[in-house]
């Protein structure tokens, strides 16, 4: 009894520390950018915006205000929510398909999104959706494919994690070959260029209006999964075990898949595709804190957010006057860290090796 309460309190402390680190990271990161702005000015503007402190004339307009409040902060807020979303969906996907190699995009979502983006860029589909019509089409593609994967996995008997994975793989190849087909026949190199750039993912398009939509969706999704941590724990034990324990995972799996696809769809819509975070953060957190979903969902969310905030800062400053695509940077930093941890600790996915 005593021991377990001690464990709970370490977990709570870690959670609080991570939260503080996240807030600190944002406050620090907001002062870093391609244009030098004094730290004092940055905080004056934020303080004015949040608490109405200071002179309205000076702090609510002008170029410095625009840079801090309309460019840097939304971008950081987007980094946070994308990080949360990718990390949590990574955890969920790995549980759904019971496979350590799964990431948020594994069940065809990335190819579905690419196909949507290809349609939008190459054939001008969906221009009525406004300036981010590519994002909207990618969102629809991602969601559509997830639903198809689920239907396909249920054809001819109950779905299980293997069938889901196979259906995901199959539809994924169908989508990517269709994308290639369109790209080849459109013969529009400018479009190809746009497409490649789009698929690399970037947080540069952040806007407050959009964040107002994304935040509620993602946070509700995270809370939902947090509430489902018992079922998620069962998923790691497999279908047979859970049936004997009285839970049929099949239905849960389908609901989780739709919720996760929706969350990732919003990430794709607002930031394109950012790989590796969703794969690495869940493993990292599991290595350090075990496999109980009750703990690793909030921990992954915070770690993912911190990781992405710093990755975004780094990709802006690491090469002067150049913004490195964030996906490249994440893999360059993330992979070695991951390998180090893997060697350092004996780690078994799902099983509680410690």
Partner 1 sequence: MAFLYTREIHEYSPWNNALDYVTYKKGETKMKKMSGLMVMMSMVLSLSACTKNNPVETNSITSEAGEVTLKANSVGPEGEGQKQYPLTIMNYNYSKEKIPVTFEKIPEKVFCLYQNSIETMLALGLEDHILAAAKMDHPVKPEYEEAFSKINYISDFELTKESVIMMQPDFILTWMSPFDEKKLGDVDFWHERSINTYMAPNSNSLEPNKTLENEYRYIMELGEIFGVEDRANEIVNEVKNEVNRVTEATKGQEKKTVMIIEFGKDSMFTYGKTTLGGNMVTALGGELLEGAESTIGLEDLINLNPDVIYVVYMDEAEEGKEAAAINKVLENHALASLTAVKNGSVYGMPLGNMYAAATRMIDGINIFAKGMYPQLY
The site for partner 1 (CB under 8 A) is made up of 33-35, 37, 63-64, 66-67, 71-72, 127, 130-132, 187-194, 196-197, 200, 202, 204-205, 319-325, 328
Is residue 132 helix, strand or coil?
Answer: coil
First-to-final CA distance of the chain:
21
Q: How far is the CB of 180 from partner 1 (least distance, A)?
A: 12
Q: How far is the CB of 194 from partner 1 (least distance, A)?
A: 8
Structure tokens at 213: 């939509």
Q: How far is the CB of 63 from partner 1 (least distance, A)?
A: 5
- CB closer to partner 1 out of 53 and 70: 70
- CB closer to partner 1 out of 75 and 163: 75
| Cβ atoms of residues 167 and 152 within 8 Å | yes
- CB closer to partner 1 out of 197 and 340: 197
Q: How far is the CB of 191 from partner 1 (least distance, A)?
A: 8
Q: How far is the CB of 133 from partner 1 (least distance, A)?
A: 8
- CB closer to partner 1 out of 2 and 40: 40
DSSP 33-101: SSS---HHHHHHHHHHHHH--S-HHHHSSHHHHIIIIIIIHHHHHHHHHHHHHHHHHHHHHHHHTT-TT
Alpha carbon 161 to its chain's center: 22
- CB closer to partner 1 out of 125 and 260: 125
| Cβ atoms of residues 149 and 209 within 8 Å | no
Whole-number Cα distances in Å, 237 to 12, 199, 352: 26, 35, 11
Q: At what angle do helices 229-237 and 249-271 cross, to 10 degrees?
A: 110
Which residues contact residue 308 at a Cβ distance below 8 angstroms, ignoring those fewer than 6 apart? Answer: 79, 80, 82, 83, 86, 203, 274, 277, 326
- CB closer to partner 1 out of 64 and 288: 64
- CB closer to partner 1 out of 120 and 281: 120
Q: How far is the CB of 212 from partner 1 (least distance, A)?
A: 17
Q: How far is the CB of 324 from partner 1 (least distance, A)?
A: 7
């Amino acid at each position: 009894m005593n021991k377990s309460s001690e464990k709970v309190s370490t977990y709570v402390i870690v959670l609080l520390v991570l939260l503080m680190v996240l807030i600190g990271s944002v406050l620090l990161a907001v002062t870093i950018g391609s244009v030098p702005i004094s730290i004092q000015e940055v905080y004056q503007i934020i303080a004015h915006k949040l608490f109405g402190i200071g002179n309205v004339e000076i702090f609510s307009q002008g170029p410095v205000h625009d840079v801090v409040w309309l460019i840097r902060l939304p971008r950081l807020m987007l980094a946070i929510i994308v990080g949360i979303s990718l990390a949590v969906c990574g955890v969920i996907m790995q549980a759904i398909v019971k496979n350590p190699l799964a990431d948020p995009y594994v069940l065809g979502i990335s190819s579905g999104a690419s196909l949507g983006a290809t349609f939008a860029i190459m054939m001008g589909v969906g221009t009525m959706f406004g300036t981010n019509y590519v994002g909207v089409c990618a969102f629809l593609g991602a969601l559509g494919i997830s639903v198809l994967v689920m239907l396909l996995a249920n054809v001819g008997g109950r779905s299980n994690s293997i069938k889901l994975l196979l259906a995901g793989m199959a539809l994924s190849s169908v989508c990517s070959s269709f994308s290639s087909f369109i790209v080849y026949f459109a013969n529009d190199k400018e479009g190809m260029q746009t497409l490649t750039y789009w698929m690399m993912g970037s947080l540069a398009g952040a806007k407050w209006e959009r964040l107002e939509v994304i935040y509620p969706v993602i946070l509700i999704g995270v809370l939902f999964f947090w509430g489902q941590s018992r079922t998620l724990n069962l998923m790691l034990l497999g279908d047979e075990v859970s049936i004997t324990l009285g839970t049929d995972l099949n239905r849960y799996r389908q609901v989780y898949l739709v919720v996760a696809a929706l969350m990732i769809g919003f990430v794709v819509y607002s930031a394109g595709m950012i790989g590796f975070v969703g794969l690495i953060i869940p493993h990292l957190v599991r290595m350090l804190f075990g496999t109980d979903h009750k703990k690793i969902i909030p921990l992954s969310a915070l770690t993912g957010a911190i990781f992405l905030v710093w990755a975004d800062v780094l990709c802006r400053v690491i090469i002067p006057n150049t913004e490195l695509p964030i996906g490249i940077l994440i893999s360059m930093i993330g992979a070695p860290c991951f390998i180090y941890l893997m060697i350092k600790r004996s780690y078994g996915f799902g099983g509680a090796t410690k």
